[in-house]
Amino acid sequence: MATLETIRDEITALDGDLLRLLARRKQLSIDVARSKQADRRPIRDQIREQELLERLIQEGRPQGLSPHYISQIYHLIIEDSVLSQQAYIQEQLNAEQQGTLTSIAFLGPRGSYSSLAARKYLSRHTDQVLETSCSNFQQVIDEVESGRVQYGVLPIENTSSGSINEVYDLMQHTSLSIVGELTLPIEHCLLTAVATTPEQITTIYAHPQPIQQCSNYLHAQMSQVHLEYCDSSSAAMAKVQAEASPHAAALGSAAGGELFGLEPIASHLANQQDNITRFIVVARKAIEVAPQIPAKTTLILSTAQKAGSLVEALLVLRSHRINMTKLESRPIQGNPWEEMFYIDVAANLNSSAMQAALKELNSIVRALKVLGCYPSEDVRPTTLPDYLLPAAD
């Protein structure tokens, strides 16, 4: 019988082979993108994706691999392939905006959720990134508007705590364009600098958003603990690192905590298990989205102060078969009791349907502004027939 070390050595060798094969597969997906760019074919081919998954599941069964195991792995591979192809085609289409060094601004120092989102977004575009930490959302906007950085990343909504109203309000008045989006799973942990237990904690440092998103846990398990508000999750981690006390903890991600030498003593603290934040990426210059890439367009509009005005505007989108994915209302500053409506639609700004809808909207609303058109990063898993994924697996 082989020794444990021998078995581990074989696993290590197999892992190296897997990484090389994944890298080769990723490179082939870029070759596919070049072909699709030349033929102007859509990035996603869900019929082929379904056929691929069905074939792999059938081949995997005799080898002891469950359908769920195979589908989970390949959903991740397909998602990365789709996003990598989109990034490649977008870089070719907007080549004049690409440089050897990319700079980006975000809320908080390294380790904040916005910092992690910035790195995730740019990881498909460049290896050389100049990061700029900001103390508030307005500073992120200012850094990009001034030209000191190329991009800014801003959280716009969370599945647990809802919309980030401050960002919506700032977008009313900026000249920046939305050029990208991404989602980031938010996995809140209780982080400490020294070995301790939750029962010993007397002070928790956190940004208001994590406190709101973990309110059930804090009320049930930490009702006697003092909550200290911070400008960002990373600022909270820095305070805990500096105190190095068994009585101090921060709310934040395990990945961010590693940068500050913090360890999680409690995990999965959010009220909702699927706690996801959507971020937008802003730049001074709008981008063009290739027609074969699924796109979103964000616009803001104000309607006449009469009954049915908003419904009339939304009916314009329906008449042009444009799917609305987000509707948010915010007060117009300086105009009491008047509201501005933010709308996300699943459409390319340059499409004939979107252009016709904008022309019609301009004739019936008081004000209309397009905030940006950008690739959609909502890569939903390919649906498989139920018989391929039986409940027993």
DSSP string for 307-374: TTHHHHHHHHHHHTT--EEEEEEEEPTTSTT-EEEEEEESS-TTSHHHHHHHHHHHTTSSEEEEEEEE
- pTM (two decimals): 0.76
pLDDT at 219: 92
Under 8 Å between Cβ of 259 and 110: yes
Do 99-186+276-283 and 189-266 agree at the fold level? yes
Residue range 189-266 in CATH 3.40.190.10:
yes
pLDDT at 315: 95
Under 8 Å between Cβ of 221 and 267: no
DSSP code for 292 = T
Burial of 330: CB neighbours in 10 Å, binned 0-12, 13-18, 19+: middle
pLDDT at 255: 84
pLDDT at 140: 96
Query: Which CATH number is 4-93 given?
Result: 1.20.59.10
pLDDT at 392: 46
The candidate with the shortest Cα–Cα distance to 109, out of 281, 241, 231, is 231
Under 8 Å between Cβ of 147 and 105: no
Query: What stretches of the chain adopt beta strand conformation (E)?
Result: 102-107, 129-134, 151-158, 162-163, 177-185, 189-192, 203-206, 226-229, 248-252, 263-266, 276-283, 295-302, 324-331, 339-345, 367-375
pLDDT at 116: 87
CATH architecture of 99-186+276-283: 3-Layer(aba) Sandwich (3.40)
pLDDT at 139: 95
DSSP sequence for 180-214: EEEEEE---EEEESSS--GGG--EEEE-HHHHHHT
Under 8 Å between Cβ of 140 and 107: yes
Dihedral sign from CA coordinates of 231, 236, 179, 272? negative
Collect the ranges in the chain with pLDDT lower than 50: 392-393
For the chain, what are the domain ranges? 4-93, 99-186+276-283, 189-266, 295-375
Q: What is the CATH topology of the domain spanning 295-375?
A: Alpha-Beta Plaits (3.30.70)
